[in-house]
Amino acid sequence: MLMPIEGFRYVLGAPQTFQRDDIHAAVTRDFCGTCGTHITTRRPDMRSLLVLKAGTLDDPSLYDQPRLAIFCIDRQPFHQLPDALPLFERMPPPRQ
C-alpha cells in the first residue's frame, strides 16, 4: 500500500535496510531486524511515498480496500484478487 513518507514512522526500534548495489536507482527495503519480515520499500523515483506491506499491519482491516494490484506478472496461481480490481503486470502508467 502506498502512503506518504511523512505519515509513517516506526514506533519501536529501527529496521534493518537493504539496497542492491548492482542496480541503478535500486529500491531500499526495510526489514525487521529480529524476524526478517519485509516492512517497506522506498523507491528513488517516488521520494514522497513509500510502499508499506499491508500484511505487516496489526489490523489491516482498518484500511480501505485495494484500488489496484501491481507487478501481477509475478502473480502465483494461489493469489486471489477481486474481479473488479485493476491489474497491472508492472507499474501502472503515470497519472496525467
Query: Comparing C-alpha atoms, which of 91, 89, 86, 88 is closest to residue 73?
Result: 89
The amino acid at 66 = P
Q: What is the pLDDT of residues 39-92, one digit of tens each?
A: 999 999 888 999 999 888 888 788 888 888 988 999 999 999 999 999 999 888
- Find the angle CA(77)-CA(61)-CA(36) to the nearest 5 degrees: 65
* pLDDT confidence bin for 35, thresholds 50/70/90: very high
Domain range annotation of the chain:
2-64, 65-96
Which long-range contacts (C-beta less than 8 Å, at least 24 apart) are formed by 29-34? none
Cα–Cα distance between 87 and 84 in angstroms, integer?
9
pLDDT higher than 80, residue 95: no
Residue 58 has a pLDDT of 85
pTM beyond 0.85 = no
- 88, 58, 37, 27 alpha-carbon torsion, rounded to 10°: 40
What is the DSSP pairing of strand 2-4 with strand 28-31? unpaired
Q: Which helix (H) or strand (E) holds 50?
A: strand 49-52
The residue with cell 503486470 is: 89
